[in-house]
Chain A
Amino acid sequence: MVKKISISKYLAYLFLIVLCVIWAVPVLFGITTSFRSQAEVVSSGFRLLPVNWIMDNYTTILGNTSTAPILRWLMNSLFIATAHTFLVIVVISLTGYGYSRMNFKGRDTLFFTLLGISFFPGVVNLIPSYKIIDALGWVNTAWAMIIPGLAGMGNIFLVRQFMKGIPNELDESARVDGAGDFKIYASVILPLIKPVLIVCGLFSFIGSWNDFLWPVIVYTDVDKMPVTAGLLLLQDIYGNYRMIGQLMGSAILAMIPTFILFLFAQKHFLQSINLNSGIKG
């Protein structure tokens, strides 16, 4: 029995360690390559650590403000993702309150109709969405990425579900004290649903930051695009692996913000789906 446990322990370790190495090496390799000169990369092939650490790649990419303005792209992404996240939190908390706490005719029918429609695959509305963004004059503006995602139902479903777990007695006692819906929303419900809002906010930020298909479609102006769409241009600009350090440096810069967010909010990312599976299971 004792032996059995140790064999399975070593198997588990072996599996996990092999995977972790495979998972970590590409990023580490990308980071170290961004500190190597092109000559060194080409002459010595694969090495995990540079012979000479240089900063030139970063000074070059940060200095390129015309064809690949990466700082501009990062600022665009940061603005888009932050504004989107803030609005997501406002919209889902208000709407979730409406669908779980307010009483109006056809409330649940309306909610489940919207939810049902939203299950229809998004690929169908891609082309008309572009047309709508164009009609609103939002092509090549941040609005194209900030606003449309607010219409989604997934987060509202989660918030509504979470609110249903909050006992009604809390609102009722506030109502007896003379509070209206806005007061109850702001001072009773909002503080209590903070955990679910944090999780939805984090995933909205990451989702917005990493979105790829949509920005590739709505941005043609190099100065206006977010960094994910910008990186697509780089393979041409930094010449199909003729300027590898620059390519890697750009990719690394694009990763830093989400990585920092993960470091600070690790526990929310990793426990988040508890909530999900709790609902599904």
Chain B
Amino acid sequence: MNKKSFTPYFFVGPHLILFAIFILLPTIYGIYASFTQWNLMNDPVWVGFDNYKTILFNSDSTFYTQFKNGLKNTLLFVVLTVPILIVIPLMIAVALEHKKVKMKGFMQSILYIPGLISISAAALIWSLIFNKQLGITGNIFGSTVAWAANQPYAWITIIVLTIWGGVGGNMIIYRASINGVSKDLYEAAEIDGAGPIRKFSSITLPSIRFPLIYTFVMTTAGAFNVFGQPLMMTDGGPRQSTHVLMMYIRQLAFGHGESIAGMASAMAVLLGLVILVISALQYYVMNRNAS
């Protein structure tokens, strides 16, 4: 089998081409476009750091205001949802691992299914729940506010929808990991007289350290890309207070009127950098604290 063969290219070649066209090329072009003025139709015109200067420093520009507002709202979304998307699935996993609890499979399915529902379908249903005249908040809890149009309710609708659809994935990961922790450890701890809280903090948590870091980093990175929930639930309102960065990027590049794709690309690169830095930081800090 000494002959030089082309067989490896048959196996990895097709994907390599796909990778070049749909990941490598657009990533490079996206970075390049952020230094240009571009309307998606004509060739981009190089403008150096102008887009970045406008977005970051020119407080008279609407792009500056949009970026600041979009990033602020995106960060708010991340801070409000990520901790809940870690803690609730962890609590569910622990509760489901309780020896005496029955119907585990059934309850797990109920909690998992919303994750399989598309964001647009889920948002239609939750909008009805939060509807002033027709929904549950109005009729059962007697709330008379239009939730999507008033703060803090607008954020609550977005967060509830996100949590509802988002706990399933992490729940499965935690369950599988907790299941993998050796039962001997728990038995030994019980003999030493450790209570449930003690067992959780000194056995369960350290044992599932890697899945915790993994889910924390992935959930955060995902949350930074938030788009569908605010678009469907509030359309960015009231007064742009739930307008996230991804919505501005889409609006500038693909909205009505002439595309401002260069500026949108610069915002996208900045968002990408924020995600990269925060992921790296999370990984570094958690890994260090854990060891």
Q: Could you list which residues of chain A lie within 8 angstroms of chain B, going by C-beta atoms?
A: 4-6, 8-9, 11-13, 15-17, 19-20, 22-27, 29-30, 33, 41-42, 45-46, 91, 94-95, 97-99, 102-104, 107, 110, 114, 117-118, 120-132, 147-148, 150-153, 156, 180-182, 185, 206, 209-210, 212-213, 216-217, 227-229, 231-232, 234-235, 241, 244, 247-248, 250-252, 254-255, 258-259, 261-262, 266, 269-274, 276-278, 280-281
Cα A128 to Cα B25 in complex, Å, equals 8
Cβ of B136 within 8 Å of any chain A Cβ, yes or no, is yes
A27 contact set on B, CB distance < 8 A: 113-114, 117, 125
A95 touches B15 (CB 8 A): yes
B134 touches A23 (CB 8 A): no
Cβ of B139 within 8 Å of any chain A Cβ, yes or no, is yes
B128 touches A127 (CB 8 A): no
A interface, over-half SS: helix
Contact pick for B128, options A30, A227, A232, A272, CB 8 Å:
A30
Contact pick for A129, options B26, B208, B214, CB 8 Å:
B26
Contact pick for A127, options B91, B100, B113, B253, CB 8 Å:
B253
Cα A16 to Cα B97 in complex, Å, equals 11
The listed residue with most B CB atoms (<10 A of its CB), out of A6, A23, A29, is A23
Cα A25 to Cα B137 in complex, Å, equals 13
A94 touches B15 (CB 8 A): yes
Summed over the interface, the residue pairs from A and B with CB atoms below 8 Å come to a total of 294
A20 contact set on B, CB distance < 8 A: 107, 110-111
Digit string of B2-13 for contact with A (CB within 8 Å is 1, else 0)?
000001101110
Cα A99 to Cα B13 in complex, Å, equals 11
Cα A252 to Cα B124 in complex, Å, equals 10
Cα A109 to Cα B131 in complex, Å, equals 55
B: contact size bracket: 35 or more
A26 touches B23 (CB 8 A): no
Cα A123 to Cα B40 in complex, Å, equals 16
Cβ of B238 within 8 Å of any chain A Cβ, yes or no, is no
Cα A213 to Cα B120 in complex, Å, equals 10
A247 touches B124 (CB 8 A): yes
A98 touches B19 (CB 8 A): no
Q: How many whole Å from B120's CB to the nearest CB in chain A?
A: 4
Cα A275 to Cα B266 in complex, Å, equals 37
A125 to chain B: closest residue by CB: B26
Cβ of B140 within 8 Å of any chain A Cβ, yes or no, is yes
B173 contact set on A, CB distance < 8 A: 273, 276-277
Given contacts A16-B92, A132-B21, A277-B173, contact A127 B265 (CB under 8 A): yes
B196 contact set on A, CB distance < 8 A: 4, 8
B133 contact set on A, CB distance < 8 A: 42, 45
